[in-house]
Structure 1
Amino acid sequence: MQLAKKTMFKKLSKKTVVPASILIAFSSIYSHAVYAQENSPYSRFGLGDKTPSTNIINRGMGGVASGFVSPATINYANPASYGFFQTTKEFNSKKMLNGRMVFDVGADITGRNLINSTTKERFPATNIQFSHVMVGMPLRNNWGMAFGVRPLTSIKYSQRANVLVKDPITNNIIDSAVANYEGSGGLNLASIGTGFKINAGEKLSIAVGVNGGYIFGKKNAASRMNLHNDSTEFNGVLYENQTNYNGMYFDAGLQLHTQLSKKIYLSVGANGAWKQKLNTTTERFAGTYVQSEFSGIVKQDTVSLSKTEGNIMYPSTMTFGFILEKPQINYNSTGWSIGADYTSNKWSDYRANNIADNSLKNNWQIKIGGEFQPIRKKGYFSQMNYRLGYFTGPDYITFNSKELKSSGFSLGLGMPLANYNYNMTRQASVINLAFEYLNRGNSSLPIKENIYRISVGFSLSDIWFQKRKYD
């Protein structure tokens, strides 16, 4: 990472690759088995549950990313890092001889244990979700670019409640009903960015970068109500809202890398985005419906149907952080890094058609984490990188003006699958795993969530732009 000139992975044998292959196969089977069982009640508020904003290496370190640089992955959280993509200069020249291109893809398995604060009942829910796909490459020495797509938020909930139906004039109770609330959707970001590094001295480098992208997605919300009546069958009442979001989005970053001593390096980073407007199109339906075993929900009478154009103001965000590192310089030495980030999100900027949302509030998060690289021996476990992290801070969503406190820890592994050493061997393949566990909410709220997330990522890289010479 950072200013390290060498990243050490010994050549792997078939015996060492087998454990990793078994783990991949198990993850694939498990992911397929739990698909589409997600239920996150709080995702009905705001723009939904925020998905991780960092790659899988950083998630294993608690999400620390602002000052992070690695030749084996893409740090899309801070585009300044694109200026550090690995290159080799031509002999006696400043031109690039070749560079390492990186392909990074990942998926998340998220499990939730929903706990009813009153009855103490537990409701498990699990889901697999696409994490990101990114491609990064150097364009010149000290200049790189990256592009890809990833989710920003996720919406998936299904709730049922018994409600009382009142006469709108007398306010007297006239019946009881079952209400069902369902929602789905989320926002995604397709982006392309560039970063440029300036060597300001023998021991100091400064990099700046910017991402430009397009946010797109939707939020589907539906509520259905059926009266409790044993003698007469009534059609149910149905309300549907579907909002589509789209618009340009930009963020920027800065990194400063310096050598503190013969073996220790410091990286300081800052990245963020200003508040930005997104366009919306909302379709609303109100009417009646019937439901059958074979046809599902079938709309009957339409009471109202409308389509409106509008906008939202997506909030600003800012992150500051650092990483202190001792690089691994050869097979017989260890390497380590430790760092921290502070993130602030200004959700008071959020507006939907110029109207504030009282269920949203400014929030912050502190992240602490590190990585350890053992002496490289023949055993596979000595080839892996080990990561640990902790994070804490309230969610941006509130419920009845009460904040959702959130904190958790993370573990991570970097598992090489191909030869990758300081001579810049042509190909390098690494599996990155991260396990995150967090608590969201407390007993003062109707629902408390215990959440775990298993993230599996593949970082594949190869030497490109190789110039050939012939006699």
Structure 2
Amino acid sequence: MYQRLKYTFAVCLLLTSIIANAQVTTQSPYSRFGVGNIKGGSLPQYRAMGGISTGVFRTNYFNNINVQNPASYAGTTITTLDMGLTGSFTELKNSSQTENSFNATLSHIAFAFPLSRKSGLSFGILPYSELGYNFKNTVKIGTTTANTKTVDYEYLGEGGLTKAYLGYGVQFGDHFRIGANAEYLFGNLTENRSTEYVQEPGAINSRLQSKNSVGGIAFTYGAQYDFNLGNKTSLVLGYSGSSSSKINSKKTQVATQYFNDSNGDEQTAIDTLLFVENSPTNLKLPLIHNFGFSIVKENKWLIGADYRMGKWSELSIDKVNQGLQDTYGVSVGGQYTPDVTAINGYFKRVDYRLGFSYDKTYIQLNKQDVKQMGITFGLGLPLSSYARGSLYRMNLSAELGKRGNTNNGLLQEKYLNIHLGFALNTNSWFQRFRFD
């Protein structure tokens, strides 16, 4: 048993290292704002239902890890492991151009096990935000035709933040649960801004390079209460939130001047105007609230909804407010399983999931709020059990949505996100078997 445990933890540590050091691959000009595109903490089985999770306790007999509301850990009845990957097809479009891209990466690893009949512990690692963009804005400056010059303002960003968490949930009585996560956020946010004079070999160009290395503790918390409606049906009410935390970071800035040759190729920097290395600062995260409910027919169906709101107008980086807007959003979704006990007919034991989400994001451009909406769907596919006391499941989900529009010179982003997760329920890891 101890050898299995050591092997399991070794695999977890290896995958954790891969996820933490993987190059973030996203192409979204909207990730330029704040700390990048916020990824959320939902695993594929919840994303397939529009992202509902706040009021979700158990979907059926199979244990799932609900990182979004740590109160749900109290319902962990068996050791659970969940890991997966994600891929994204993106189309960026303005009034005159269209660009397509595809990116894929490991997405998460999460682990949970019961501590007692009414308490559970969970830990894992998953992305918090992704930063990835590369675009330029070409303008003409000058007062007369003779002195008019063409200037390219180029913007480049990459990196993101990763979240490692440790959480605990406990149940009081038969209906009430609370829980909390301690989260360590870490990663690098790297951004470059360049000013280049087009077809002007003798002109002095400039670039400001900024790197923010983040590493600090934040907290999330949650509560759930369920009501027995009879006939194996229950109503679950939930709340979860995150505190307004200050995360330590170190900022490095370099400002340089350089020439481009007659072919437009960049030459060695001729001067360094600014160099600040590892200046201590902080990142102030906003206060976030989530409210949700679900109605569950045991081992048959689930429907629910979430409402969320965030004070992103309070986000500051290096003690500078980022000029973002407060957010709100709603998700609705559900799951249906025809017959979990079916012996013949594999598809009767499959979980079928569907959902919808809508958000007013924290971005406002040209006095227009950038909004995001999408439909989601997915499957929970039971796999054969090869070991005593173990159950395996593959969760597949897809998100089809869009963000923004092309009005008033803005940008529309359409996306198809595919999430794939592999979940294991087992009671054999922590048991000692005896033979006569």
TM-score for the superposition, normalised by structure 2: 0.86
Aligned length: 403
Tell whether the 8 Å contact from 1:36 to 1:126 is kept in structure 2 after alignment.
no
How far is the alpha carbon of 1:239 from its aligned partner? 1.6
Partner of 1:68: 56
Partner of 1:393: 359
Identical columns (%): 29
Which structure 2 residues correspond to residues 64-463 of structure 1 after superposition, within 5 A?
Answer: 64-70=52-58, 71-86=62-77, 100-116=78-94, 118-119=95-96, 121-165=97-141, 173-200=147-174, 205-229=175-199, 232-234=201-203, 236-289=205-258, 298-307=268-277, 308-328=279-299, 335-358=300-323, 360-375=324-339, 376-419=342-385, 426-445=389-408, 446-463=410-427
How far is the alpha carbon of 1:416 from its aligned partner? 1.1
Tell whether the 8 Å contact from 1:418 to 1:427 is kept in structure 2 after alignment.
no
How far is the alpha carbon of 1:107 from its aligned partner? 1.4
Tell whether the 8 Å contact from 1:273 to 1:316 is kept in structure 2 after alignment.
yes
How far is the alpha carbon of 1:106 from its aligned partner? 1.6
1:47 correspondence with 2:35 = yes
How far is the alpha carbon of 1:262 from its aligned partner? 2.1
Tell whether the 8 Å contact from 2:26 to 2:131 is kept in structure 1 after alignment.
no
SS of the residue 2:46 aligns to? helix
What are the superposed Cα offsets for residues 184-230 of structure 1, whole Å, 9 maximum, x if unpaired? 11111111011111234xxxx21111100211112111123332236
How far is the alpha carbon of 1:356 from its aligned partner? 2.2
Tell whether the 8 Å contact from 2:355 to 2:377 is kept in structure 1 after alignment.
yes
How far is the alpha carbon of 1:443 from its aligned partner? 2.8
Which structure 2 residues correspond to residues 23-38 of structure 1 after superposition, within 5 A?
Answer: 38=26
Structure 1 residues 311 and 400: alpha-carbon distance in aligned structure 2, compared to 1, 3 A threshold: farther
How far is the alpha carbon of 1:363 from its aligned partner? 0.7
What are the superposed Cα offsets for residues 317-353 of structure 1, whole Å, 9 maximum, x if unpaired? 111111101113xxxxxx1110111111111222234
Tell whether the 8 Å contact from 1:164 to 1:173 is kept in structure 2 after alignment.
no
How far is the alpha carbon of 1:447 from its aligned partner? 0.5
Give the Cα separation in 2 of the matches to 1:469 and 1:348: 60
Partner of 2:19: none
Give the Cα separation in 1 of the matches to 2:118 and 2:165: 21
SS of the residue 1:42 aligns to? helix
CA RMSD of aligned residues (A): 2.6
What are the superposed Cα offsets for residues 27-77 of structure 1, whole Å, 9 maximum, x if unpaired? xxxxxxxx9863101111111111132111110000010122344321111
Tell whether the 8 Å contact from 2:24 to 2:159 is kept in structure 1 after alignment.
no
Partner of 2:9: none
What are the superposed Cα offsets for residues 242-278 of structure 1, whole Å, 9 maximum, x if unpaired? 1112211111111112321122111111111121111
SS of the residue 2:31 aligns to? helix
Give the Cα separation in 1 of the matches to 2:34 and 2:392: 39
Which stretch of structure 1 is more off in the superposition, 460-469 or 155-164?
A: 460-469
Q: Which runs of 5+ in 1 are unaligned?
A: 1-34, 87-99, 329-334
Aligned letter for 1:103? Answer: L
Aligned letter for 1:320? Answer: F
